[in-house]
Amino acid sequence: MLYFTLASKAYARNLQYRGAHMLHNLASALFGYLYACIWIGIGADRPLGEYGVQGMIGYIAFTQASLWITGFITNGLGIPQAVRTGQISLDLMRPVHLFVLCMCREWGQIAYQFVYKSLPIYLLYMILFRLSLPTHWTTLLYTFVALAASSYMSICMNYLIGATSLWTTESNWLFWVNHALVNLLAGFFIPVEWLPSWLQTVSWMSPYPYLLYVPTRIYLGYEQAGSLLGSMAWCIVFTLLCLLVTVVVRRKVEVQGG
């Protein structure tokens, strides 16, 4: 119940800014539109592999909309700010595990972004580019599981980024590097199989393809449920890492004095 309350509070807080967020959605949709235009331009006089032009438009539309629940996560889950203000000491004193506390808050944020950002942006693309939904309900189910796993991995990644601020007080740049790697290695703009082979190897050795590429491929019907095993494996690895880091954080915490 406590966990649900933490999440719902974060959801409710965002509801106050719905109007501003809708304007932001327009800008976000425009970004995806630009990328789609680039692929339309590239595909004008050559085939685009198994996707084709319409397939690549569908691909970009899905990754751009999904970015709001897998990429645009709160910077370091708010831990850097808590470190600067000293709030982190209070958070560690609460009778809730720090990782669970941060995670529940972020799930509320993600739920809000799914309803008020991802869905409206994707709906707009569906109308604009005449996209259609998958015909089989299991595809939607597997996509949902893949997206939930990628959201969870993103939460864990940002928890780890946030935890570094206990040593550096500033993890802003790490957040942006992570974002750049999402753009490049997660198949946001380029499907992973079109990366140079060495970069493909790097990509598959990292968790990034499971953030966007795998859910998108499942949604578009190119992958089956088997790919979810990779997502699950990374979720387990990240959970262990986050729990381990929390133990270290408890010993490291310094109160900055606000």
Partner 1 sequence: MNIKYWLDLYVVLIKSSIRSRMQYKLNFILGTVLAAIVQIAEFLMIAIVLNKFGAVKGWSLYEVGYLFAVMTLSKTLYRTFASDVHHLENYLTTGELDQLLTRPVPILLALMSQNIRLMPGELLQGGTILYWSMHGLITSGQITWAALPYTLFIIVTGGVILFSIGLATATIGFWITRIDELQTLTEDAAQTAVRYPLVLYPVWLRSLLLIVIPVGFVGYVPSLFILRGEYGAWLVYGIAFLAVICLIVSLKFWKFGLTRYQSTGS
Nearer to partner 1, 40 or 96 (CB): 40
How far apart are alpha carbons 76 and 189 in whole angstroms? 24
Other residues' Cβ atoms within 10 Å of the Cβ of residue 158: 24
Nearer to partner 1, 1 or 180 (CB): 180
Nearer to partner 1, 1 or 45 (CB): 45
Nearer to partner 1, 20 or 229 (CB): 20
Q: 173: which 2 tokens? A: 């740049």
Comparing CA positions, the residue from 204, 221, 24, 42 lying closest to residue 136 is: 221
Comparing CA positions, the residue from 13, 6, 161, 1 lying closest to residue 73 is: 161
CB of 192 to partner 1, least distance (A): 11
Residue 167 binds to partner 1 (criterion: CB under 8 A) = no
Nearer to partner 1, 4 or 167 (CB): 167
Other residues' Cβ atoms within 10 Å of the Cβ of residue 107: 21
Residue 46 binds to partner 1 (criterion: CB under 8 A) = yes
Helix axes 172-185, 197-205, angle to 10 degrees: 120
Nearer to partner 1, 12 or 193 (CB): 193
Comparing CA positions, the residue from 93, 80, 86, 79 lying closest to residue 256 is: 86
> Please, are residues 105 and 7 in contact by the beta-carbon 8 Å criterion?
yes
User: How many CA within 13 A on the CB side of residue 87?
Assistant: 9
Give the binding range for partner 1 (CB under 8 A) out of 28-36, 201-209, 222-230, 248-256: 28-36
CB of 2 to partner 1, least distance (A): 32
CB of 248 to partner 1, least distance (A): 21
How far apart are alpha carbons 53 and 120 in whole angstroms? 23
CB of 215 to partner 1, least distance (A): 19
Residue 4 binds to partner 1 (criterion: CB under 8 A) = no
- Could you list the residues that contact partner 1 (CB under 8 A)? 20-21, 23-24, 26-28, 30-31, 33-34, 37-38, 40-42, 44, 46, 168, 170, 172-174, 176-177, 179-181, 183-184, 188-190, 194-196, 199
